[in-house]
Amino acid sequence: MCRSIKTLRPPAMPEEATEDDMRAAALQYVRKVSGFHAPAAHNREVFDQAVDAVALATRELLDGLVVRGQRQAP
């Protein structure tokens, strides 16, 4: 896949992933899948929507993961 996308869950990241971290990963993913580093104006809206959707899916995934060896919040 894309080497620029880093693992965002603990213990790979010492602290919780930020929204900026998730957005950067989503952008790299959409760039890779679409083949566009920067889309043309006529593709910008759908490109940005895809980045938003992937960032949201990333947040939902990270919020739902249970990582063994990590304490759960009460």
pLDDT tens by residue, the chain, 74 residues: 456 688 888 778 778 889 999 999 999 999 999 999 999 999 999 999 999 999 999 999 999 988 776 655 55
Q: Is 10 part of any domain?
A: no
With tokens 């006529």, the residue in question is 42
Helices 19-34 and 41-64 pack at an angle, to 10 degrees, of: 130
Q: Is 39 part of any domain?
A: yes
Global pTM reads 0.82
Q: Is 5 part of any domain?
A: no
- Give how many domains the chain has, as a whole number: 1
Q: Is 40 part of any domain?
A: yes
pLDDT at 66: 87
Q: Is 54 part of any domain?
A: yes
Q: Is 53 part of any domain?
A: yes
Q: Is 60 part of any domain?
A: yes
Q: Is 49 part of any domain?
A: yes
What is the extent of the structural domain holding 31? 19-64
> Rounded to 5 degrees, what are φ and ψ at 66?
-115, 120
Dihedral of alpha carbons 10, 26, 58, 23, sign: positive
